[in-house]
Amino acid sequence: MQNLDDHERRLSAAMARIIAASDRLMEPPPAASQPEAENDTAAEVEIARLSRALDEALEQNAALSGELASARERRAASNGTLESRLAEQATRIDAQAVALQRMRMVNVQMREALRSLREALEGGVADAGQINRALQAELDGLRAVRRAEVADLDLLLAALDPLLDDPDPADLSASPMTEPDDA
Protein backbone atom coordinates (compact mmCIF):
# COMPACT_ATOMS: atom_id res chain seq x y z
CA MET A 1 0.00 0.00 0.00
CA GLN A 2 2.85 2.35 0.84
CA ASN A 3 4.44 1.46 -2.50
CA LEU A 4 1.24 2.53 -4.25
CA ASP A 5 1.20 5.83 -2.34
CA ASP A 6 4.84 6.41 -3.28
CA HIS A 7 4.06 5.80 -6.95
CA GLU A 8 1.12 8.19 -6.84
CA ARG A 9 3.27 10.86 -5.18
CA ARG A 10 6.01 10.47 -7.80
CA LEU A 11 3.45 10.58 -10.59
CA SER A 12 1.95 13.79 -9.19
CA ALA A 13 5.40 15.39 -8.93
CA ALA A 14 6.20 14.47 -12.54
CA MET A 15 2.92 15.96 -13.72
CA ALA A 16 3.67 19.18 -11.79
CA ARG A 17 7.06 19.43 -13.50
CA ILE A 18 5.43 18.93 -16.90
CA ILE A 19 2.89 21.66 -16.23
CA ALA A 20 5.59 24.05 -15.00
CA ALA A 21 7.70 23.42 -18.09
CA SER A 22 4.76 23.99 -20.43
CA ASP A 23 3.88 27.20 -18.58
CA ARG A 24 7.42 28.46 -19.06
CA LEU A 25 7.18 27.71 -22.78
CA MET A 26 3.97 29.72 -23.03
CA GLU A 27 5.42 32.80 -21.27
CA PRO A 28 6.53 35.60 -23.55
CA PRO A 29 10.28 36.04 -23.58
CA PRO A 30 11.58 38.87 -21.39
CA ALA A 31 12.57 42.10 -23.08
CA ALA A 32 16.05 41.58 -24.29
CA SER A 33 18.92 43.92 -23.85
CA GLN A 34 21.11 41.53 -25.81
CA PRO A 35 21.40 41.55 -29.54
CA GLU A 36 18.65 39.75 -31.49
CA ALA A 37 20.87 36.82 -32.58
CA GLU A 38 21.97 35.99 -29.04
CA ASN A 39 18.32 36.03 -27.91
CA ASP A 40 17.32 33.64 -30.66
CA THR A 41 20.17 31.25 -29.82
CA ALA A 42 19.45 31.43 -26.09
CA ALA A 43 15.76 30.84 -26.75
CA GLU A 44 16.53 27.84 -28.95
CA VAL A 45 18.85 26.42 -26.29
CA GLU A 46 16.17 26.98 -23.64
CA ILE A 47 13.51 25.37 -25.86
CA ALA A 48 15.77 22.38 -26.50
CA ARG A 49 16.48 22.04 -22.76
CA LEU A 50 12.82 22.30 -21.89
CA SER A 51 11.91 19.82 -24.63
CA ARG A 52 14.39 17.33 -23.18
CA ALA A 53 13.01 17.95 -19.70
CA LEU A 54 9.49 17.45 -21.03
CA ASP A 55 10.51 14.21 -22.77
CA GLU A 56 12.17 12.95 -19.59
CA ALA A 57 9.12 13.86 -17.54
CA LEU A 58 6.85 12.09 -20.02
CA GLU A 59 9.08 8.99 -19.87
CA GLN A 60 9.00 9.10 -16.07
CA ASN A 61 5.25 9.54 -16.19
CA ALA A 62 4.88 6.51 -18.45
CA ALA A 63 7.17 4.42 -16.24
CA LEU A 64 5.36 5.48 -13.07
CA SER A 65 1.99 4.81 -14.68
CA GLY A 66 3.16 1.30 -15.53
CA GLU A 67 4.42 0.73 -12.00
CA LEU A 68 1.17 2.08 -10.60
CA ALA A 69 -0.87 -0.24 -12.82
CA SER A 70 1.21 -3.27 -11.80
CA ALA A 71 0.92 -2.31 -8.12
CA ARG A 72 -2.84 -2.06 -8.49
CA GLU A 73 -2.92 -5.49 -10.18
CA ARG A 74 -0.88 -7.01 -7.36
CA ARG A 75 -3.19 -5.43 -4.79
CA ALA A 76 -6.27 -6.74 -6.64
CA ALA A 77 -4.75 -10.25 -6.79
CA SER A 78 -3.92 -10.08 -3.10
CA ASN A 79 -7.45 -8.94 -2.28
CA GLY A 80 -8.89 -11.81 -4.33
CA THR A 81 -6.75 -14.32 -2.43
CA LEU A 82 -7.79 -12.85 0.90
CA GLU A 83 -11.46 -12.87 -0.08
CA SER A 84 -11.30 -16.53 -1.09
CA ARG A 85 -9.57 -17.44 2.18
CA LEU A 86 -12.22 -15.49 4.07
CA ALA A 87 -14.99 -17.35 2.24
CA GLU A 88 -13.34 -20.69 3.08
CA GLN A 89 -13.10 -19.70 6.75
CA ALA A 90 -16.76 -18.64 6.77
CA THR A 91 -17.75 -22.02 5.31
CA ARG A 92 -15.74 -23.86 7.96
CA ILE A 93 -17.23 -21.75 10.74
CA ASP A 94 -20.72 -22.48 9.41
CA ALA A 95 -19.95 -26.21 9.43
CA GLN A 96 -18.73 -25.91 12.99
CA ALA A 97 -21.91 -24.09 14.00
CA VAL A 98 -24.04 -26.83 12.42
CA ALA A 99 -22.06 -29.52 14.25
CA LEU A 100 -22.48 -27.65 17.53
CA GLN A 101 -26.23 -27.31 16.97
CA ARG A 102 -26.49 -31.06 16.28
CA MET A 103 -24.55 -31.79 19.44
CA ARG A 104 -26.90 -29.60 21.50
CA MET A 105 -29.97 -31.29 20.00
CA VAL A 106 -28.59 -34.78 20.67
CA ASN A 107 -27.71 -33.82 24.23
CA VAL A 108 -31.32 -32.75 24.81
CA GLN A 109 -32.52 -36.09 23.40
CA MET A 110 -30.03 -37.97 25.57
CA ARG A 111 -31.14 -36.15 28.71
CA GLU A 112 -34.77 -36.92 27.90
CA ALA A 113 -34.02 -40.62 27.27
CA LEU A 114 -32.01 -40.89 30.48
CA ARG A 115 -34.76 -39.15 32.46
CA SER A 116 -37.31 -41.58 31.04
CA LEU A 117 -35.05 -44.55 31.82
CA ARG A 118 -34.43 -43.28 35.36
CA GLU A 119 -38.16 -42.94 35.96
CA ALA A 120 -38.75 -46.47 34.67
CA LEU A 121 -36.03 -47.89 36.92
CA GLU A 122 -37.42 -46.04 39.95
CA GLY A 123 -40.84 -47.54 39.19
CA GLY A 124 -39.26 -50.99 38.95
CA VAL A 125 -40.19 -51.37 35.30
CA ALA A 126 -37.22 -51.59 32.98
CA ASP A 127 -38.34 -51.52 29.36
CA ALA A 128 -35.88 -52.82 26.75
CA GLY A 129 -37.14 -50.19 24.27
CA GLN A 130 -36.31 -47.40 26.73
CA ILE A 131 -32.84 -48.82 27.27
CA ASN A 132 -32.32 -49.03 23.51
CA ARG A 133 -33.49 -45.41 23.05
CA ALA A 134 -31.14 -44.25 25.82
CA LEU A 135 -28.21 -46.11 24.27
CA GLN A 136 -29.09 -44.77 20.81
CA ALA A 137 -29.24 -41.23 22.19
CA GLU A 138 -25.84 -41.74 23.79
CA LEU A 139 -24.40 -43.02 20.51
CA ASP A 140 -25.90 -40.06 18.66
CA GLY A 141 -24.34 -37.77 21.24
CA LEU A 142 -20.93 -39.34 20.76
CA ARG A 143 -21.26 -39.02 16.98
CA ALA A 144 -22.25 -35.36 17.31
CA VAL A 145 -19.28 -34.70 19.58
CA ARG A 146 -17.04 -36.41 17.01
CA ARG A 147 -18.43 -34.25 14.17
CA ALA A 148 -17.92 -31.10 16.26
CA GLU A 149 -14.33 -32.14 17.00
CA VAL A 150 -13.68 -32.77 13.29
CA ALA A 151 -15.11 -29.32 12.46
CA ASP A 152 -12.87 -27.76 15.15
CA LEU A 153 -9.81 -29.54 13.76
CA ASP A 154 -10.69 -28.49 10.19
CA LEU A 155 -10.91 -24.88 11.34
CA LEU A 156 -7.58 -25.18 13.17
CA LEU A 157 -5.87 -26.78 10.17
CA ALA A 158 -7.21 -24.08 7.88
CA ALA A 159 -5.71 -21.44 10.18
CA LEU A 160 -2.36 -23.25 10.24
CA ASP A 161 -2.12 -23.87 6.47
CA PRO A 162 -0.87 -20.36 5.62
CA LEU A 163 1.80 -20.65 8.30
CA LEU A 164 2.95 -24.01 6.99
CA ASP A 165 3.01 -22.82 3.36
CA ASP A 166 5.20 -19.79 4.13
CA PRO A 167 7.42 -20.58 7.13
CA ASP A 168 8.71 -17.04 7.72
CA PRO A 169 10.33 -16.96 11.19
CA ALA A 170 9.26 -13.35 11.70
CA ASP A 171 5.62 -14.33 11.15
CA LEU A 172 5.88 -17.29 13.52
CA SER A 173 7.39 -15.22 16.33
CA ALA A 174 4.63 -12.62 16.01
CA SER A 175 1.89 -15.25 16.02
CA PRO A 176 -0.82 -14.90 18.68
CA MET A 177 -0.37 -18.62 19.36
CA THR A 178 3.07 -18.10 21.00
CA GLU A 179 3.34 -18.14 24.75
CA PRO A 180 4.46 -14.93 26.46
CA ASP A 181 7.71 -15.08 28.40
CA ASP A 182 7.27 -15.35 32.16
CA ALA A 183 10.69 -13.75 32.84
End-to-end, the C-alpha distance of the chain in Å comes to: 37
Average pLDDT score over residue span 175-181: 48
Q: Which of 40-54, 122-136, 157-171 has the highest mean pLDDT?
A: 40-54
The domain tally of the chain equals 1
4-45 confidence digits (pLDDT tens): 788 888 888 888 888 888 777 777 655 555 456 566 788 888
Q: Note whether residue 103 is domain-resident.
A: yes
User: Average of pLDDT values for 144-157?
Assistant: 84
Q: What is the C-alpha separation between 119 and 113, in angstroms, rounded? A: 10
3-state secondary structure at position 180 = coil
Please report whether residue 173 resides in a domain.
no
Instruction: Write down the pLDDT at residue 93.
Output: 84
Per-residue buried b or exposed e for 5-30, using 16+ beta carbons within 10 Å of the residue's own CB? eebeebbeebeebbeebeeeeeeeee
Percent of the chain with pLDDT over 70: 83
Average pLDDT over residues 124-133: 76
The pairs formed by 57-62 with CB atoms below 8 angstroms and a separation of 24 or more are 57/14, 57/17, 57/18, 57/21, 58/18, 60/10, 60/14, 61/11, 61/14, 61/15, 61/18
For helices 36-122 and 128-165, give the axis angle rounded to 10 degrees: 160
pLDDT value at residue 173: 52
Q: State how far the Cα of 145 lies from the Cα of 137, in Å rounded to an integer.
A: 12
Containing structural domain, residue 81: 2-28+39-164
Q: What is the predicted pLDDT for the residue at 80?
A: 85
Across 55-69, 115-129, 144-158, the highest mean pLDDT is recorded for 55-69
What is the pTM for the complete model shown? 0.42
Is 178 part of any domain? no
